[in-house]
């Protein structure tokens, strides 16, 4: 089975299924390689990786599959310049940049022949990136795990707003899609592909502790919280950390007090020190739709099959 959209054509992939960049969870060879080999687009999350690890992981993905893959560079990360120098040498086929402007990287990588995709969470930023000449966009909606838009505009509204303004720009829609019906919906709303984060977070290939995956699978759709307004909001599973943040926000605590709690824990604490109750368990609302841990290749196949069935069902509604 294959799909033919502007994104599959641009990226050279068979299926319009993108595994979202997820720090730690997809900062390894296993997850992105499995997704790319299965016909989607795997994304290596460079955020928490050191230079030698990045070089080894890119070589590992290339050993594992000859299909296209992406690397995600959060532009605010420490040492982003050095990472770009390394990427210039390694020439990954696709760069997905996030958390910053296009100026830092666009000309440099476009000239190398790397496909440049920019991550945005507002119509204004989408327009700015398109004007600068990116090849495509990841448009993130309020349902998303990690960093949703600060105003929490939902993905289905945000996607259509962006497509109305930029009908010719290829868009990957991220946030809440989770399954085949989600992919079909994203395509119906104008996306050329859907990106899936939380759905891949529980795969055996994802590089996070089992206890974190268990919490994701146990969660209902109402079990995430958005905290950290003013410091780069995150959506995470509710736990002691989100309760503490919510209390400080309710009490209008000083910025310093809120920042101390928000910055006092990281996703890294969850991954390396099992801080399940008091760490940032980043996950999207779609955690409530994820209750099985299938290997990534099976997730890709299931999403593709579900989308095909949904589209066939919809076709029956019209003469
Ligand atoms: C654990 C976790 C880590 C994330 N890390 C990153 C990251 O390093 N870079 C990035 O651009 N987005 C990151 N995100 C956001 C995802 O790329 C994506 O936008 C989001 O997961 C999509 O929503 P969904 O989880 O509902 O599928 C992260 C999300 C999660 C859940």
* 128 C-beta neighbours (distance < 10 Å), count: 15
Query: Which pLDDT value is given to residue 232?
Result: 85
pTM, two decimals, is: 0.97
Cα–Cα distance between 190 and 234 in angstroms, integer?
Answer: 26
Residue 176 in contact with ligand 1 by CB distance below 6 A:
yes
> What are the beta bridge partners of residue 226?
235
Residue whose CB lies within 8 A of the most ligand 1 atoms, among 28, 144, 213, for a mutation test? 144
Residue whose CB lies within 8 A of the most ligand 1 atoms, among 22, 141, 265, for a mutation test? 22
Residue 32 in contact with ligand 1 by CB distance below 6 A:
no
Domains of the chain, by residue range, sit at: 6-206
Residue 283 in contact with ligand 1 by CB distance below 6 A:
yes
* Domain at 6-206: CATH architecture: Alpha-Beta Barrel (3.20)
Residue pLDDT, tens place only, 148-183: 999 999 999 999 999 999 999 999 999 999 999 999
- The mean pLDDT of the chain is 96
Residue pLDDT, tens place only, 58-67: 999 999 999 9
Range 55-69 burial, b when 16+ CB lie within 10 A, else e: eebbebbeebbebbb
Cα–Cα distance between 192 and 8 in angstroms, integer?
Answer: 7
């Amino acid at each position: 089975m294959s799909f033919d959209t502007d994104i599959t054509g641009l990226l050279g992939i068979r299926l319009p299924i993108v595994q979202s960049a997820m720090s730690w969870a997809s900062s390894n060879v296993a997850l992105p390689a499995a997704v790319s080999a299965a016909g989607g687009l795997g994304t290596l999350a460079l955020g928490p990786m050191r230079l030698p690890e990045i070089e080894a992981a890119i070589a590992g993905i290339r050993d594992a599959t000859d299909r296209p893959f992406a690397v995600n560079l959060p532009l605010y990360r420490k040492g982003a310049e050095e990472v770009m120098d390394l990427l210039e040498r390694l020439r990954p086929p696709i760069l997905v940049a996030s958390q910053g402007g296009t100026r830092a990287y666009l000309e440099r990588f476009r000239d190398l022949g790397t496909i440049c995709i920019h991550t945005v969470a507002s119509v204004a930023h989408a327009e700015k990136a398109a004007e600068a000449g990116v090849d495509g966009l990841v448009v993130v909606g309020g349902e998303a795990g990690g960093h949703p838009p600060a105003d929490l505009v939902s993905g289905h509204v945000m996607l259509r707003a962006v497509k109305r303004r930029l009908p010719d720009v290829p868009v990957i829609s991220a946030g809440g899609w989770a399954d085949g019906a989600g992919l079909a919906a994203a395509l119906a709303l104008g996306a050329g592909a859907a990106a899936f984060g939380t759905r891949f977070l529980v795969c055996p290939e994802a590089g996070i502790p089992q206890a974190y995956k268990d919490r994701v699978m146990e969660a209902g759709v109402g079990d995430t919280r958005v905290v950290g307004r003013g410091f780069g909001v995150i959506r995470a599973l509710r736990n002691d950390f989100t309760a503490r943040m919510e209390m400080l926000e309710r009490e209008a605590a000083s910025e310093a007090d809120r920042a101390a709690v928000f910055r006092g824990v990281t996703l890294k604490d969850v991954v390396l020190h099992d801080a399940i109750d008091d760490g940032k368990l980043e996950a999207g609302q779609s955690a409530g739709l994820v209750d099985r841990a299938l290997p990534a290749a099976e997730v890709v196949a299931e999403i593709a099959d579900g989308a095909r069935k949904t589209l066939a069902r919809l076709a029956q509604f019209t003469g």
